[in-house]
Amino acid sequence: MQKDLQKKGYNSRGTHSRGEGGEQERELAKKYRAWAKVLHFEYPYTGSVLEETSSYYDRDAQREDSRASIKKRLWD
């Protein structure tokens, strides 16, 4: 169930345009982490799902930063 909730949250992003690097993902991670902080005490399960989702976006941001770096090295 937890993985399904995370997928639903991730997929709710829908179609989006790519910026350079992982800044978009860092902003999403920040938003999910703030929600987790607010909800964690009263709804620990929901808070943990949101925290894991923010961690996923952190990893995604690192991956996008790596892609941007590689792209820059190849094209510059």
Kindly give the confidence (pLDDT) of every residue in the chain, 76 residues in length, as a single tens digit, with 9 standing for 90 and above: 656 655 666 566 666 666 788 999 999 999 999 999 999 999 999 999 999 999 999 999 999 999 999 988 888 6
Indicate the pTM of the whole model.
0.76
Q: How high is the pLDDT of residue 39?
A: 95
CB 60 within 8 A of CB 36: no
Q: How high is the pLDDT of residue 63?
A: 94
Q: How high is the pLDDT of residue 26?
A: 95
DSSP letter (8 states) at residue 24: H
How far is residue 43's CA from residue 55's CA, in Å, rounded to a whole number? Answer: 18
